[in-house]
Structure formats: structure tokens, C-alpha cells
């Protein structure tokens, strides 16, 4: 029988659970845990410079690896600093376990120094939370936390641990729990066969079908199965922002991604479809636009692991609750050897879809002329060429995020890492750190803007300490580009507080942290600078590209319209 203190149980559990990295920042209520981590060498602790960065780094690690990210913070401000990252993971269904130190249990409710009811604060933005009442329950509670975070619809779980629960003087029996039982939690492992049969019948009879696939396909590891099914049927496919890479973007059947700034052809195809096969997507408002005008002629099949997401915003004709992988595999076995009912109608549908696609060839944006500022789209296209489309790309939030999603072509899942649901500025750089540590031999790029980068730029210090060689490509337009775009369109170009009037000299700033920075002002400087940036995958390089500040992101859906109502440039709309 092994007797361990609560703090040592935590350290031992993380080892037994196979956790490689824990991202955190120490403080009084968590010090016993920190001491236990110091006395072992299997779990590597990464000391960030702000707790929000710890959650984003763990989040990036989880999105790229598929394993839960792990965070350790202290009570009070340590825990509240982590809230934005917890909400980010919650909105995008990312598995994460956040261990929070708490004041001693006899002080809870006394407004003690650095006390916050973090369970109460985070209740709306976690999948579940636990508060430790006795040290002996630590292994079982942590096992439940990891199980809940990573099964069903994944999400963040908070474990609140009062300091006296980790006291080194009290020891209890430690046994690693191999299994976990939760009476009221039984995530589905397969879809309803009758409903899947109904769905396949509709799929084979459709004349204008479109697949609409989201982050659930990526997190469910169902990309290969999806690709198989879509190719067998020969139907067009579009993805959400979170689903980018679930189906190879270079493939002819892929129409790109859809919604607010999605491609013209994907939005048009969705609007005119007679059947939408939605898998692992939640009909988010950035996709549907006005739900009362959404896809008026379409029947809807909706596959989702979370029963509360099905028919929540748009009614499904065939609802299927189940994991993307097992449902798709069942669909494949039912489709095998069957003919589609209307091949001639499908041929006509493809003619229409290809017509929409051809309409926009060469019209996506105006390339920069001699002596003009570089267009942000040109930067992303060049970046894609230089890295052969094989990098992990994280983004912050704004115009640069949309340009990265539009012009970098992803043929694999888990490669495009962005804050979709919450839209968190500051996410990209720490997320890139978390990915680079898990995939040191890959190129990891953070595409950012000067507004977002300044929210988490202190993490340059973390990269210095741990030798994390991420690439940072800053599309510098000296303004909050997406805010300014909305002000141009809706506020007669009254740019209220959207210009960054006192930017740092990024080259000097980056060099002060001990890294290389390059500045690019003309198109002919761009490709050589990118080659230099990616020459050594273990070196952190900051590429500061001065881009055209007047450029807008198009297409852009017209607010409160249908999916086909889009602005295509500053002068044309559908």
C-alpha cells in the first residue's frame, strides 16, 4: 500500500494518466502541488507569463494532438485570469483539465486573501467542475475530470483544490483508478441505426445534396471516414471554420468553408441545396446568417454527439445523436454497392456549382501594383507556397484570421487552429507554443495582427526559456482591421478607436527578447523573407509585414440575409 500526500497524488496521477505537459503559474494556494511537481521529472511543467496563456497553450496542444490539455493555476486572480481560455475551449468543444489552487477549506466564504469562488465563476463555461472535499478522493476525481473532458462532446473541466487538501503532512492510500463510473453520464457511442438508414435513403435520392461538416469531425478523428463517404457519393462538401481540413481542401469536391466570410460557391450551394448533410456542426449564427431564411428548399440531416445541439437553432428532418466516426462508418456500409437515384440531376448540380466557382476565379482580390502596399491575401498565399501547405497554422482573431482560413489550403485535419466560437484575441501565439512543443519537427506558424499580438506578447519570454521555435507572421495594418471594416460598412468610416496610433518598433521588441525579427514592406521582399523565416524550424522568427490597411475581407454575408446574400467587394454584391 502506497501512502501519498494530496499534492503527491496529483503529480503521480498526471504521470499515470500519461500527461506530458502541464501549463501553469505558481501562487500560494498551489505551492504544495508545485513542490510535488518539482520532485518528479516525468510531467514537464511550462511556466507561462500569464495564466490566460496557460489555457491557450493547453488548448492548442489539445486541438493538435487530440489529448486533453492540462493547466495549473493558483486561487483568486490566478484562476480568474484563466477564465477567458476556459471559455474559449468551452465554445469550441476542446478537452481541457484546469486544476485550480484554492484557499484552505476552513477559510472558504470568509473573503480570505486571494479567494474566488472559481467553481461559481466558471459554471456557465465548463462541461463540469469538482471541488475536493478530502485528499483521499483526488485520484478518483481527477480520473473523472479527464474522462469527462475527453468523451462525448469534449470540453473543459475545472478541479478546485483547497490548499489543506494538498498538505505534505497528511498521507492517504494512492491507487490509480483504471476505470471510472458516473451514474448520470453515459455518452453515446453509436447512432440510431433506423435514423441512419433514413438518412442514407434521403442521401441516395437527393438531386442537389451538400455535405456541411464541422469541428466534430476533426475532434472525433473521423476525417478519413468522411473523405471515403464523400468520394463514394461524389457530392460537394463544405466545412465550417472549425472543420477546415476535415476533408482535403485541394480536392475538386471541396467548395471551401462557408458562412460569414466563407467562399461564394459554398454559400450559394448551401442556399440552393435540396439536402444538407450536417455532421459535427452546430448551425452557428456565423454560418446560418438569418435562420428564418436559411436554406429554404433543403431537408436537413443533422449528426451530432451532443443531443442538445440537434435541432437547437435549425430543425433537423433526420436527427442522429452519435459520434461522427461511427455514424459515418455505418453510412458507408449502407451506401456500399448502392446507386444514387438521380445521376443526371447530380451532373446538373455540379455544373451549377462549378459555374459559381468559375464566376469568382481571378476576382477574389485585387493584387498589389508596383509601389503599393502588400495585400494580406498575397502574404498568406506566399506562406502556403513556401511551407507547401504542410504547417500547423494558428491565428488570432480579426481580418488576418479570415485571410489565413481563406488562402492557406489545408489537406489534413488538426492543422488549422483558431478560436471559432469565442473569437479570442491573444489566442494564436500561446496556442502555437503548445502545438510546437508536441510537434517540434513541424513548422508552426502564428498568423496574427498587431492588435492581437500585443495581448499575449509576454509569452516571448516563455519561448525563450523553453526554446520554442514558433514563427509569427504579423499582418501589420496599424489598426483593428475587422473593427475598421465594420466601421467602413456600417458607420460611414467613422473609425472610433480602431487605429493603433502608438505601435512599438516590433524589430527592437523581438530583439530585446533575444529573437530574430524581419520587416517587409514590398512584394518583392516577401518571398525571400518567408524563406529566411522558415529556414530553421527550431528558431523563433517574427515577420512584420506592412499590409494595405484599406483592404477588406470578402465575401461577407449581408447581416440578417440568407446564405446567398453577400458583399463580394467594396462595389459589388449578390
113 classed as catalytic = yes
482 classed as catalytic = yes
Active-site annotation holder among 163, 299, 373, 436: 163
Measure CA 473 to chain center. 18
Active-site annotation holder among 2, 42, 44, 113: 113
Report d(CA 486, CA 481) in Å as an integer: 9
418 phi, psi to nearest 5 deg: -145, 160
Active-site annotation holder among 482, 556, 563, 566: 482
Q: Which of 106, 301, 348, 83 is nearest to 192 (CA)?
A: 301
Q: Which of 117, 128, 115, 114 is nearest to 159 (CA)?
A: 128
Measure CA 343 to chain center. 37
Active-site annotation holder among 15, 114, 454, 507: 114
Write out the E strands in 202-337: 209-213, 237-239, 254-257, 275-279, 299-304, 318-321
For residue 556, give the H/E element and its range: strand 556-557
452 phi, psi to nearest 5 deg: -65, -45
Report d(CA 223, CA 70) in Å as an integer: 25
294 classed as catalytic = no
Report d(CA 160, CA 101) in Å as an integer: 6
Active-site annotation holder among 17, 51, 265, 551: 51
Write out the E strands in 381-491: 392-395, 416-417, 444-448, 471-476
Report d(CA 573, CA 556) in Å as an integer: 9
Helical H runs in 19-94? 31-38, 51-65, 77-81, 83-91
Contact (CB, 8 A) for 383 and 530 = yes
Question: Cβ of 524: how many Cβ atoms within 10 Å?
Answer: 9
Show which residues are catalytic: 51, 113-114, 163, 482
Amino acid at each position: 500500500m502506497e501512502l501519498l500526500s494530496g499534492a503527491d497524488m496529483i503529480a503521480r496521477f498526471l504521470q499515470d494518466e500519461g500527461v506530458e505537459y502541464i501549463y501553469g503559474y505558481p501562487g500560494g494556494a498551489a505551492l504544495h502541488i508545485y513542490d510535488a511537481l518539482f520532485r518528479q521529472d516525468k510531467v514537464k511543467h511550462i511556466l507561462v507569463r500569464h495564466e490566460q496563456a496557460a489555457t491557450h497553450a493547453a488548448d492548442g496542444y489539445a486541438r493538435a494532438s487530440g489529448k486533453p490539455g492540462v493547466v495549473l493555476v493558483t486561487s483568486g486572480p490566478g484562476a480568474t485570469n484563466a477564465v477567458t481560455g476556459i471559455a474559449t475551449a468551452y465554445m469550441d468543444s476542446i478537452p481541457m483539465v484546469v486544476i485550480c489552487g484554492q484557499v484552505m477549506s476552513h477559510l472558504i466564504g470568509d473573503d480570505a486573501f486571494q479567494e474566488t469562488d472559481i467553481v461559481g465563476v466558471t459554471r456557465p463555461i465548463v462541461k463540469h467542475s469538482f471541488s475536493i472535499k478530502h485528499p483521499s478522493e483526488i485520484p478518483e476525481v481527477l480520473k473523472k475530470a479527464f474522462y469527462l473532458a475527453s468523451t462525448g462532446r469534449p470540453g473543459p473541466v475545472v478541479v478546485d483544490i483547497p490548499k489543506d487538501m494538498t498538505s505534505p503532512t497528511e498521507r492517504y492510500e494512492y491507487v490509480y483508478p483504471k476505470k471510472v463510473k458516473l451514474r448520470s453520464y453515459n455518452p453515446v457511442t453509436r447512432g440510431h441505426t433506423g435514423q441512419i438508414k433514413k438518412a442514407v435513403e434521403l442521401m441516395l435520392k437527393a438531386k442537389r445534396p451538400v455535405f456541411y461538416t464541422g469541428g466534430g469531425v476533426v475532434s472525433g478523428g473521423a476525417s478519413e471516414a468522411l473523405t471515403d463517404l464523400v468520394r463514394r457519393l461524389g457530392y460537394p462538401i463544405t466545412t465550417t471554420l472549425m472543420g477546415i481540413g476535415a476533408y482535403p481542401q485541394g480536392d475538386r469536391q471541396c467548395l471551401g468553408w462557408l458562412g460569414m466570410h466563407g467562399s461564394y460557391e459554398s454559400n450559394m450551394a448551401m442556399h440552393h441545396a435540396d439536402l444538407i448533410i450536417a455532421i459535427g456542426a452546430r448551425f452557428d449564427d456565423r454560418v446560418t446568417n438569418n435562420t428564418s431564411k436559411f436554406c429554404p428548399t433543403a431537408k436537413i440531416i443533422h449528426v451530432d454527439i451532443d443531443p442538445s445541439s440537434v435541432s437547437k437553432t435549425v430543425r433537423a428532418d433526420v436527427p442522429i445523436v452519435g459520434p461522427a466516426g461511427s455514424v459515418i462508418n455505418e453510412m458507408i456500409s449502407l451506401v456500399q454497392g448502392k446507386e444514387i437515384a438521380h445521376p443526371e440531376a447530380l451532373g446538373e448540380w455540379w455544373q451549377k456549382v462549378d459555374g459559381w466557382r468559375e464566376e469568382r476565379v481571378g476576382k477574389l482580390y485585387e493584387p498589389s501594383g508596383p509601389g503599393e502596399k502588400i495585400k494580406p491575401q498575397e502574404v498568406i498565399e506566399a506562406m502556403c507556397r513556401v511551407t507547401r501547405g504542410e504547417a500547423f497554422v494558428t491565428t488570432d482573431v480579426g481580418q488576418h484570421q479570415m485571410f489565413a482560413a481563406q488562402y492557406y489550403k489545408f489537406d489534413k485535419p488538426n492543422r488549422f487552429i483558431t478560436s471559432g466560437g469565442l473569437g479570442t484575441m491573444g489566442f494564436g501565439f500561446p496556442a502555437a507554443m503548445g502545438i510546437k512543443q508536441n510537434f517540434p519537427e513541424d513548422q508552426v506558424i502564428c498568423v496574427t495582427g498587431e492588435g492581437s499580438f500585443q495581448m499575449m506578447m509576454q509569452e516571448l519570454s516563455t519561448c525563450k526559456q523553453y526554446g520554442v521555435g514558433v514563427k509569427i507572421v504579423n499582418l501589420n495594418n496599424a489598426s483593428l482591421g475587422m473593427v475598421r471594416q465594420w466601421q467602413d460598412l456600417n458607420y460611414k468610416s467613422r473609425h472610433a478607436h480602431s487605429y493603433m496610433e502608438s505601435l512599438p518598433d516590433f524589430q527592437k521588441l523581438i530583439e530585446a527578447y533575444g529573437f530574430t525579427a524581419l520587416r517587409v514592406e514590398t512584394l518583392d521582399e516577401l518571398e525571400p523573407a518567408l524563406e529566411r523565416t522558415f529556414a530553421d524550424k527550431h528558431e523563433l522568427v517574427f515577420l512584420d509585414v506592412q499590409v494595405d490597411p484599406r483592404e477588406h475581407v470578402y465575401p461577407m454575408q449581408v447581416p440578417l440575409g440568407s446564405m446567398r446574400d453577400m458583399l463580394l467587394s467594396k462595389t459589388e454584391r449578390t
